[in-house]
Each structure stands twice: as C-alpha cells, then as structure tokens.
Structure 1
Amino acid sequence: MSKSDREIMEIFEAFDLTRCAWSAAQLAGCDAKTVARCAAIRDAGGDPFVRPRRPRSIDPFLAKVEELVDRSRGRIRADKVHERLAAMGYGGSERTGRRAVAEIKQAWRAGRRRVWRPWVPEPGMWLQFDWGEGPRVGGRRTLLFCAWLAWSRFRVVIPAWDQSLGTLVACIDATLRVIGGAPTYLLTDNAKTVTIEHVAGVPVRHPQMVQLGRYYGCTVQTCVPYDPESKGGVEATVKIAKADLVPTSANLRGEYASFAELERACVCWCERVNARPHRETKVPPADRLATEREHLHAVPAEPHGVGLGEERLVDEDQTIRFGSVRYSTPSGHIGQRVWCRVQGEELVIVARTGRGLAEIARHALSTPGNPRIAEEHYPDHPGGNGPRQPRPRPRTAEEAAFLGLGEGAHRWLIEAAATGATRVRAKMAHAVELAAHLGSDRVDHALGLAALAGRFADDDLAAICDHLAAESPPGDVVIADEAHSAQPGTSGWARLGEAAR
C-alpha cells in the first residue's frame, strides 16, 4: 500500500531523529524496508512523494508511438495508433494505448508550444481597427467600424452600411478627427480593401490605402493571422460593442427605428466606455487620450478623397447632379462640397460633418429626367409638388384683428376665398364685432365650423354662434352642396296617424 504525504513526512522525521531505519520504522509504525527505500530516494535527489510507475505492456512500443505522433505533428488519433500497434503484436488494451498517446502528445506539444510576448504599446504609435456585424435597421444589414487606440485604450465605434473602400476611408478620417491626431501605424486585418493579395506569404497593399497612409502620415500595417498580440485589443472592442449595441435577448435592447438612432447609440456608447476606468490601466481612456494626443501628429484640414468618389457642389435646391440626374441631400449642406460614388445599385453621398466624413444620403440610381428627391430632405415643404395652401399674412389692421381670433379664422378665410365668396372683408369685420360681444373663442369656433360646412352667407356666422350658445354640441356637419339639402324631407309624413291607432 502506498504511503500518503503525511506518513512519508513522519518517516523522514523519525529517520532524521534516530538515524536508524529499524528505530525509525518503530516510531513511524511501518516496515524498516519502507524507511530505507524513502530515505534512499530522498538522498538520491528524487521525489519520494511520486508513486513509481509500474511497467506496462505498451512500454516496448513507446518508441513507435513517439514516431507516429511526431510524423503527424500531434494530430494522429489514439485508435489509429492502437490499430498499428496491434498489427505489430501489441496485445494490451486500447485504454492503455490511449493513455500513452495522450502523455506523448502532451510532451510533444510542450516542446513546441508557442509563447506570446506581452504587447506593450507606446503612446501615439498604434491605432487598430476592424469591422463587426451590426444590427439590422429597417430590415437592412449594417456594420460597425471599431477603432482602438492601443496605449490609451480609447475606443471609437461608427456605424456604416457597407465596408467598401470609400466607407473605410470615411470612417478612418472620422476616427482620426475624434481622437485629435494621427498615430504612426494603422493596424488592421487583411481585408481586400487593405491587402489585395499575398505573394509568398507577403501581403501586397492596396495602392489607394498606401496613398491614404501617406496623406495622413501613417503606415498601414496588417496583422499576422491568429496573432493575439496584434489582434486581441481591437477584437475585444468589436466583441464589447456588439454585445451592447446589437439587440439580443441578453441585453434586451429594442430594434433601431432609423440609422440616425443607431449613430446616436454608438456615440453614447463611446462616451460611456471611454469615461469609465479601464481594467488594465485603472484610468479612464479619455484621461489617457489627453496625454497620448501630445504624441500624435496633426490631421490635414481637408479629408482625403481616396475612394470617396467624384466631387460635387450642393445647389440652392439641396440637390447635386450626378450622371445628368439630380439627387437630393439633407439640409445644412448648401454650397458645400460632397463626394458621390456608386455602390452596387445605389449612389452614396458623403459630406464633411462635425465628426468628420460621414454618409448623408443614399439613393437608388436613376436615369436622366427622373430625379431622386427624398421627402425627408424637405421637411418645410410638405406635399411635394402638389398645390400648396395659402398662408394668411395680415397687411392691414382689420386683417390682423380678424386673423387674431384663431385658427378658425385662418381656415374660414382660406375656404371662403377658394369658394369665391362675396363681401369677404365685410364678413370679416362682422366677425370681429361679434367677437367683441360674444368672445373670441366662440366666434373662432363658429368660423371653423362654417369653413368646414362651407357656409359663407351673411347670416351663417351669427346662426352658428346662436346654436353654440344653446349649449348643444353640433352634430354631423352637413356640407352645403348639391348632394345635400337643408329641406327636412317628407320622411316624417310616414308616421302620420300612428298615434290614432
């Protein structure tokens, strides 16, 4: 029976006291041979607490197992090893073979294990960025551009509709303006917008990305696949951003009603995570960014146009002309330069905003003679190109007194003018006189009902005021036209004589 660690320590204590195996055995309560064996192992520098391994049936075949593991680079399965050993005369169980293969694989990997050196970034040197899958807005796919300033741990997340070259350039420009400078290196993954191909394992840079780096004074670098030193930080940013911004059952976030709502959510998320202390530095990234800005170089005043498309000027009607077709833009960009590019079947319009380059509009491509005008770009012009209702603007004291009665007076004047009513000014003066006696609210209410019913005769307003004074709410408003008559009709004669029966 093997001894426990406590029993072995008691044997050593007794042996050190008596210097005799027989006497120590009597004190420890064991056999003298056991004392001698434990003492011999300790004196030889061995580990007496490790139980010696008994000979196994697979020991003669261990050299072959090591060969198979080494040839397969640690990938061969234990059952395949057992089949080969059985063909060579091995008669042991498969369980013994599995244990032996597991031990040899562990030893093989221990000698070839990759060791990562901790990445210690310097201020102003590294800015990493990557893309993550964003939420769906209106059933349409979005992406999250995630950037991470390595030394300060400052994070920037910008939503986008796609990850094309033009969108990538716009996001990089916006990020550099948010952090207030440009670092030495821009580090990212080997996407087609950055690396067009690999030759003998060497990434070939996209020529336009090289131009972008020269313009901003940065060197564009790509990470090594499966390299945690160069990818861990930005991938953690993507993971955290998606966990908070993409609606899931875990965060219970609702769907986004518009792309603008998603942009506001990204801005709020960045403000929150950059204001709380980072787990590694114990300092908020916003505070460390103030120090890192001293090591960043200035960003050019004008954004780089690589991949943004063709430049256009926004006209006074908030439109740009691309391919002989007019496309509308949101308000606030008249007289400014914008960039237009074709993305699939859509035209993307990018402009300079307070946070850098940003997409301001996206239209389906059209043909000459068929302009693309979005109604939301003209909130002050409802109804499109249809007829517009006139807006009363008083020019005399009498007109101001009438229109001052309220909305009902405005509605009455518009409807009366549209129907060709006569003596409009006299009726307006009469309404002002009635308001002086009956009150502005009652007269304004009566004017609204008159406009709704189309009653613009001389005595109609007074009759409506009398009806309202009777404290009986008006029923269904009957419009005075050819389809309706004010005559009571003859339906009442049908009940004549019923009381006599």
Structure 2
Amino acid sequence: MLSQAQRTAILELSAQGVSKHEIAQVLRVSRLTVRKVLRENSTNVPEIQRAEKAEPYREQILELLTSCKGNLVRVHEELVAGGAALSYPALTGFCRRQGIGQTPVVPSGQYHFEPGVEMQHDTSPHTVEVGGRKYKAQTASAVLCYSRMLFFQINPTFQRFDCKVFLTDALRHTGGVVERVMIDNTHVVVLRGTGREMIPVPEMEAFAERFGFRFVAHQIGDANRSARVERPFSFIENNFLAGRTFASWEDLNQQARQWCDKVNSTYKKHIRAVPRELFAVERLHLKPLPAWIPEVYRLHQRTVDVEGYVSVNSIRYSVPVAWIGHRVEVRETRAKIEIEMDARHIVTHARTVTPLSQRVTLAAHRPPRGEGVKRSDPHPEEKAIVEAAPEAALYVAALKQKSRKVVALALRQLLRLLREYPREPFLAAVQEAARYGLYDLDRLERMILRRVARDYFLLLDPDTDPHD
C-alpha cells in the first residue's frame, strides 16, 4: 500500500506534466498504481473496510476469556471445538484491535524535582564475596533526585540500626539535608499505613527530626515514583560487583565510596549532564547538617555466660572472668562493641558482623599460659574403677583414647559392669578385650555374660538324676 508521501509525489509529478510511465519508473511502482492514484486524486490513504471474521463470536470470546483465565490458546481450542471456522492469528488480531484482554496503554509521564527537595532511598539484595565467602547482602542506596548523585553501602543485614547508620553517612556524604526522603513502604521505617497515610516508626521519626527532614512513601504499585533510586541497582550489580571480591565489609564499602565518586563525575546520557556539576547547584539549596551529629548506637541487656562471653548478633565477645554471671549493658555502634558492667568497668571490642557463631577474645581476657581452668583428672569413675580393680588400669587408659563414646559415659558404663558382674569374669573379659583391642563396651558385656553362664550356671543332662 502506498504511503501518503508517495501519493502526494504522484499527484505533484503529474501536475508538472510528467508521464505516467516516467512516474512509475521514478517511484518504482506499477503504472496501474499510478493510474489508480490519479483517478482518486487524493493524498489520503484509503481505509480498508473489511469485516472481522471473529466478530460473530465476540460474546463467546468474552465468556471463554474469563473461564480460560485469559489464555487465548485455550479460547481458540474451545471455539474450534464448538464449530467456529477461525484461525488463531485471526483471533489474536481481533482481540488486539478490539482491546479484548489487553492492558490499556498508559503514558509514563515525568516527575520533576527542584534542587534540595527530595532524596530517594531503597534496598536490594545482592550476592557478594567477602573474605573468601559468599553472602546474601543488602545494598542500601540513596539518590538526590535533582542532581542524581548516588551513594550506596552493602551490609549483611539491614535493620533500623543499619538504616540510621546508612542515612547518617549518606547525609554526611552530600553535606546537607533535603526536605524529604522517599521510601518504598519498608517495615524498617513504616509503622502502619501506605502512601500518604504512612506513619513512620517513632524511633525513625525522631531520627528524621534530628536532621530536619521527613519520611514519605509512594503508593503501593507505583514503583515509578521511586525510579531515581531503582535504576542504579542493576548498574551496581553488573558493574561494581561484577568480578570483584573484598577482604572485609569495610573494604567493600570503601571501594563502593570510591566507585560512587567516579560514577558521579561521569557524563550521563539520559540526563545530558554530569551529576557532580548538577550537585554544585543543588548543594546551595540543601539545609545545613546539625552542628553535632550523635553516633548511632543500639543497646542490649545481657548476662555474662559461664565461659566469660557476651553474645551479640550470634557473635560472642569476651569479658574478664570476674564478670561471669553479672548483668551487663552492651552498646553497639557501627565500629565498636562496648560492654559495661558499671561506670568503672568497660570493655571495648571492634565490631564483627561475619562469620556468625565466632568468638572474639581479647588477650587480656585469656588466662596466662599454664594457669587455665584445671580439669578434674582422673574422672571420678576412672578413679573408682582403678581402686576396685587395679588390673584394669591399662584397659581404662586405652578406653579413654579409643572409645567412640563420650569418655565420661564410657567410664560410667565400665564401672557399672564392674559393680554388677562377678570380679573374675569381668577381669577375664577385660584382659581378652585388651589383647584384641576391643573397646566396644556392649560387646565386652556379652563376653562377660558368656563367662558367667559357663562358670556359674551348669546345665544338667535331662536324663540324669539331679540328686546323683
């Protein structure tokens, strides 16, 4: 079908006296087509008036679309089974032209932000390799909406404590405070409600008031409202994290800070500007930071365990042995763990986040070499066995080394055998077990029972008189 431009060219060339043959050669169309356009004498492309093959089945299609859960393949199968002479492409084309089963197209629109008005904050899970181990971590990101300045950190967890630490670092990085921080209805900040009805947690609301901004949340399902902060997550995963390993979490976030400085100084095609140059304008509209920014901390109440450790986030930190059994207060900051029994007794550790279930012990809390806790040796059961049967001393010593059971349980069972069975069968079975290296006490008991049955229970011939 000829376009409107081609039809216009045919009419103009004909008006200039060019023959139909020459027009057909120049535009590479047939002379029949040229004659048809000249006969119509119009540049408008004619509309095709053609009946839809699926129009007679409209009501049936609408019913089947509901029962088949929107699957047009099933709708076509049911129509054909009902005797409809309709191809699948004809069905899909009809539904597409009529808007049946199609999501209405809505224009995306734009959000315009003035300098210093909004920062968007969100988190996304990523897999990182830290210290030779892979962790499922949380990437927290913050973006200034006007200048597109990016700042992010990666941590193994992201709770309210981590959120306050991150936002404090982000605001220090920008050197000023915006009017509002947009979030995505995360439970870390939200107490109840969504969108404009969102009410933040009092702890987070007080944190925002200290800096002079307020938290706002977008409506559920309106992800485009936070597109400024959503867009960089893919860039972080496929650029910053690609092929990188890190010695520690501090090393990771230090490299992240350097990468952000590099990215923020790079020209961006989608905004046709350099974020740092736009930030020079936006910084003039930011509110100043508070004169004093207190360190973010979290308090825990703990009791020192019997080994002289305090557990915080599944990691155990040492304290002096004299504190065992005492209640202590633990103050956790981003870099330190402070354990306080009273104002004069405070222990400070470097905060550790991974790996879990590890012990962090200060040298001052280890007893001097040779002065550790003495174990009661020998075991009380071992002492009782050796005193009652000195001949079994060598077997007892070997049993402690080679038994598959816990030593205390093995010695307890051996002491029971000594007390329950006669001494001679017991010692004979122990000597034989030692000779063959047998330290299975259940088998030793069967050996004792065989000797007891042989030596103490004589079985008589039923044909003989028991009184003879």
Task: Identify the TM-score tier after normalising by the shorter chain.
Answer: 0.5 to 0.7
Distance 1:288 1:18, change over 3 A: closer
1:57 alignment partner, SS class: coil
Distance 1:204 1:93, change over 3 A: same
Distance 1:151 1:193, change over 3 A: same
Partner of 1:144: 139
Partner of 2:111: 119
C-alpha displacement of 1:278: 3.1
Within the candidate set 143, 157, 160, 2:155 is matched to: 160
Partner of 1:437: none
Which one-letter code corresponds to 2:137 in the other structure? T
Q: How does 1:182-261 map to 2 (within 5 A)?
A: 182-198=177-193, 202-246=197-241, 251-253=242-244, 255-261=245-251
Distance 1:4 1:220, change over 3 A: closer
Q: Do the aligned partners of 1:146 and 1:155 also contact (CA within 8 Å) in 2?
A: yes
Distance 1:83 1:228, change over 3 A: same
Q: Could you tell me how far apart the structure 2 residues matched to 1:107 and 1:12 are?
A: 43
Partner of 1:287: 277
Distance 1:26 1:220, change over 3 A: closer
Which one-letter code corresponds to 2:215 in the other structure? V
Q: Do the aligned partners of 1:152 and 1:285 also contact (CA within 8 Å) in 2?
A: yes
Q: Could you tell me how far apart the structure 1 residues matched to 2:299 and 2:2 are?
A: 84
Q: CA RMSD in A?
A: 4.6
Give me the TM-score of the superposition, normalised by structure 2.
Answer: 0.57
Partner of 1:274: 264
C-alpha displacement of 1:179: 0.9
Partner of 1:129: 121
Q: Do the aligned partners of 1:68 and 1:81 also contact (CA within 8 Å) in 2?
A: no
Which one-letter code corresponds to 2:149 in the other structure? F
Q: Could you tell me how far apart the structure 2 residues matched to 1:25 and 1:75 are?
A: 57
Are 1:58 and 2:54 counterparts?
yes
Structure 2 unaligned regions, length at least 5: 25-29, 317-329, 337-348, 371-468
Partner of 2:401: none
Partner of 2:11: 12
Partner of 1:47: 45
C-alpha displacement of 1:180: 0.9
Partner of 2:175: 180
Q: Do the aligned partners of 1:135 and 1:143 also contact (CA within 8 Å) in 2?
A: no
Partner of 1:94: 88
Distance 1:207 1:114, change over 3 A: farther
Distance 1:94 1:151, change over 3 A: closer
Distance 1:294 1:237, change over 3 A: same
Are 1:299 and 2:280 counterparts?
no
| Deviation by residue 1:129-153 (Cα, 9 ceiling, x = unmatched) | 1123251324344322211111121
- How much identity, in percent, do the aligned residues show? 18
Partner of 1:310: 299
Q: Do the aligned partners of 1:157 and 1:266 also contact (CA within 8 Å) in 2?
A: yes
Distance 1:64 1:15, change over 3 A: farther
Distance 1:263 1:231, change over 3 A: same
Q: Could you tell me how far apart the structure 1 residues matched to 2:226 and 2:195 are?
A: 22
Partner of 2:332: 349
Q: Could you tell me how far apart the structure 2 residues matched to 1:35 and 1:373 are?
A: 90
Distance 1:310 1:224, change over 3 A: same
C-alpha displacement of 1:11: 5.5
Q: Could you tell me how far apart the structure 1 residues matched to 2:280 and 2:274 are?
A: 11
Give me the TM-score of the superposition, normalised by structure 1.
Answer: 0.54
C-alpha displacement of 1:242: 2.4
Q: Could you tell me how far apart the structure 1 residues matched to 2:239 and 2:148 are?
A: 18
Which one-letter code corresponds to 2:45 in the other structure? D
C-alpha displacement of 1:185: 0.8
